[in-house]
Structure 1
Amino acid sequence: MNAPLNVQYSADMQVRKNLDFQLEQHMPRFWFGGHPFKTRVFDALSLTFPDGERYFISSVRLYRDQITDPELQAKVKDFILQEAQHGIAHDKMNQILIDQGMPVDAMIGEMKSRFDYWLKHKSPEINIAITAASEHLTALMAECFYAQKETLAEVDPYVRALYAWHAIEEMEHRDVAFDVMQNVAKVPYAVRARALALTSVMMYGFTLYRTNIMLKADGFNKRERIKMFAQGMPWLFGKKGILSSMKKPYMDWYKRDFHPSQHPVLAQYPVWVETLEKTGDPIQAGEALWQAGK
């Protein structure tokens, strides 16, 4: 990801509808190699996506009538359609969590109230900055999860395929909200900088908070959960943690001349696209993407 600032990378956006990841038939309770903590961390992320995607769509729509560039207008349209599909897919995953006995409705309700409050009481500039910052984080996570084959080696292939598709489309639309923020909303640098700090604290803080709630619902007592967190945090944020490689590209956000296109697209991106075009099967495409990792 350490690319020269004068080089730009992009991927053509495509709206892919009705992809079937067969999670209802195949998703085990602890789908990350039987590890409760690792599974619930990702499940906690999935919880945020449906209402998070709808919030992103609403934030971009606040500026839709002000966009005069035809190319950006087209990208915003596809961004909205892609995000809507992500919400639908993760709603299905969240229903499986409900069937497992997870208190999904309570956790989602709390988050939705927060998004609704921001849209109603915070400025459009703050909302689009938070959306752009969130897209920065999710694009970096896509790279973290799939660049190295070993990172998701223990993950059930059907769940891995869902996240692979999501990762691919994060690569495709990672600059849309940023361009609206920068070129249409004209958000000041200070607001942009604060937005990433705020978004990071909330995203990781609420993910770990919900992880704890779900592990409790799984029947693990407080002592067991403390042990899981003590063992799991280095896996996430340790020297060789799965999110540790994000540090350098994460900090690029704070460069005044930063743009998401300065970061290379996930190297296996063409593999996923070509496999889906050839087979029409997102499971095979996800497997091909993962197999092509280093």
Structure 2
Amino acid sequence: MNAIVQYQATPVVRSDLDFKLNEVPRFWFGDDPFRTRMFDALSLTFPDGERYFIQSVRLFRDQIQDPDLKQRVADFIRQEAQHGIAHDKMNQVMKDQGMPVDLFIQRLNKIFKFELEQRSPQYNIAMTAAAEHLTALMAETFYSKKETLRDAHPYVRALFAWHAIEEMEHRDVAFDVMKQVGHVPESTRKFTLAWTTALMFGFTIYRTNVMLKHDGFSRFQRLQMNIKGLPWFFGKNGTLSKMSQQYRDWFKKDFHPSQHPVIAQYDVWVKTLEETGDPIQAGEAFWQAALD
């Protein structure tokens, strides 16, 4: 039997990165309200979602014996905290535009509170590992080809690029906690990816349409936008549909996130940030290095 190839990147905590989000126009994705609000709706989930991930991992922190995993968990927590801070700033931009961000977050936190209080630690770490699998795949999907985010504003593209890099770096941390100390049944592990996927994209589409309503678009206009815009994400050749094979790998008994290659231009982002100290320049170099 051939050995399974593993691809790994070490988590690095980067803080105080400025993406100049206050300078971003309202419809920053090629002046397309639907695509803009879909990404905005996804971003809305991140700050409190990252805090939920941290809490889920902390439930097992005292049980971890492996020094390497202990360090990776510590770096994971610090990285996720920084993601929350950055996406909080993006949420503030949306609030300034009149979006009901606080209402979205209140509902989201009720869900996370319920999960942590009413579900088992094993269920929560499995949900976290599944969400990390999803976000790592989205990072690969959005940035592997230049065309995907060509119309996105460079500052927001840079924000998501930094997030993508760090998702690659810690994509296996919650998974390893789940496997090494979580003792999560296979049936739970498989179920949580399907459930996480339904929740993430269901809420994203819902929030997108609520925000479009606040933007002043009528019900008919929103319907037209959904009909036209959703295939870009979920159609036969949609952006997210392209990650289906790697997505399904999760359901293999011997799956591990490190079996998927780290995005090809990872080193370009790291080197550019080291040379310039500017995450926007690093994000631009990262995007430019993608396949045409």
TM-score using structure 2 length: 0.98
Q: 2:290 pairs with 286, 289, 293, which one?
A: 293
Q: What is residue 16 of structure 2 aligned with on the other side?
A: 18
Q: 5+ unaligned residues in a row in structure 1: which ranges?
A: none
- Partner residue, 2:107: 110
Cα gap change, 1:256 to 1:148, in 2 (>3 Å): same
Query: Does residue 71 in structure 1 map to residue 68 in structure 2?
Result: yes
Q: Does 1:172 align with 2:162?
A: no
Q: How does 1:1-294 map to 2 (within 5 A)?
A: 6-24=4-22, 26-294=23-291
**Cα offset, 1:222, TM superposition:** 0.1
CA contact (8 A) 1:142 1:170 kept: yes
Q: 3-state SS of the aligned residue for 1:254?
A: coil
Q: Provide the C-alpha distance between the structure 1 equivalents of 2:275 and 2:242, rounded to a whole number of angstroms.
A: 32
User: CA separation in 2, counterparts of 1:242 and 1:9?
Assistant: 23
Going from structure 1 to structure 2, the CA distance change for 1:5 and 1:133 (only over 3 Å counts) comes to farther
Q: Distance in 2 between matches of 1:97 and 1:5?
A: 48
| Counterpart-to-counterpart distance in 2, 1:206 and 1:177 | 23
Letter in 2 for 1:16: R
Q: Does structure 2 retain, via aligned residues, the 8 Å contact 1:5–1:262?
A: no
1:40-69: CA deviation from partner (whole Å, max 9, x where unpaired): 000000100000000000000000000000
Whether the aligned pair in 2 keeps the contact of 1:32 and 1:155 (CA below 8 Å) is yes
Shift of 1:268: 0.5
TM-superposed deviation, 1:5: 6.7
In the aligned structure 2, how far is the partner of 1:215 from the partner of 1:154? 19
One-letter code of the match for 2:222? R
Residue 238 of structure 1, CA deviation: 1.1
Deviation at 1:229, TM superposition (A): 0.1
Q: Which amino acid aligns with 2:101?
A: V
SS at match of 2:287: helix
RMSD (Å), alpha carbons: 0.8
Distance (Å, rounded) in 2 between the aligned partners of 1:134 and 1:5: 27
Aligned residues: 290
Q: CA deviation at 1:256?
A: 0.4
Instruction: Write the distance in 2 (CA, Å) between the matches of 1:13 and 1:114.
Output: 28
Whole-Å separation in 1 of the counterparts to 2:275 and 2:181: 38
Deviations 1:191-214 (A, max 9, x none): 000000100000000000000000
| Separation in 2, partners of 1:245, 1:74 | 33
Q: CA deviation at 1:35?
A: 0.1
Q: Aligned equivalents of 1:12 and 1:125: distance in 2?
A: 25
Letter in 1 for 2:103: A
CA distance in structure 1 between the partners assigned to 2:241 and 2:3 by the alignment: 22
Q: CA deviation at 1:22?
A: 0.8
SS of the residue 1:165 aligns to: helix
Q: Distance in 1 between matches of 2:3 and 2:105?
A: 39
User: Which structure 2 residue ranges, 5 or more long, are not aligned?
Assistant: none
Deviation track 1:14-35 (CA, whole Å, cap 9, x = no partner) reads: 00010010111x2110000000
Q: In 1, distance between residues paired with 2:10 and 2:270?
A: 10
% of aligned pairs identical? 66
Q: Which moved more, 1:72-81 or 1:234-243?
A: 234-243
AA in 1 matched with 2:54:
I
